[in-house]
Amino acid sequence: MACEANHSVARGQTVFIVKWVASIIQIMGYAATGFGWTPWNLYLFLVGVLGWLMVGVLWKDRALILVHFVALGSMLVGMASR
């Protein structure tokens, strides 16, 4: 039982870290877009989207998974078409 509690706390800390790192990286992507730093803005957004997709999976939140899976697919198709 104590092992399950430790696992839950560790998982919660992992999600906390991933969501904040992904959020900061996405904000950096917005800034890079504002300054016209292409393609760096796309790379930053790609990392941020992957981070939030991971958060959705860890939380088992289908809405987060769907939105970020579609965003990831759209970004990859857009980047491949250049």
Residue 8 is predicted with a pLDDT of 78
Distance separating alpha carbons of residues 16 and 14, to the nearest angstrom: 5
Chain-wide mean pLDDT for the chain? 93
Is the model more confident about 73 or about 82?
73
User: Is residue 8 included in any domain, yes or no?
Assistant: no
Distance separating alpha carbons of residues 33 and 42, to the nearest angstrom: 8
Q: Kindly tell me if the per-residue pLDDT of 5 is higher than 80.
A: no
User: Is residue 39 included in any domain, yes or no?
Assistant: yes
Enclosing domain of residue 68: 14-80
What total number of domains does the chain contain?
Answer: 1
Rounded to the nearest 10°, the torsion over CA 78, 80, 81, 82 is 100
Residue 2 is predicted with a pLDDT of 62
Q: Residue 71: how many CA atoms within 13 Å on its side-chain side?
A: 17
User: Is residue 4 included in any domain, yes or no?
Assistant: no
Q: Which of 10-19, 25-34, 50-59 has the lowest mean pLDDT?
A: 10-19
Q: Kindly tell me if the per-residue pLDDT of 82 is higher than 90.
A: no
User: Is residue 6 included in any domain, yes or no?
Assistant: no
User: Is residue 2 included in any domain, yes or no?
Assistant: no
Mapped onto helix, strand or coil, the DSSP state of residue 17 is helix
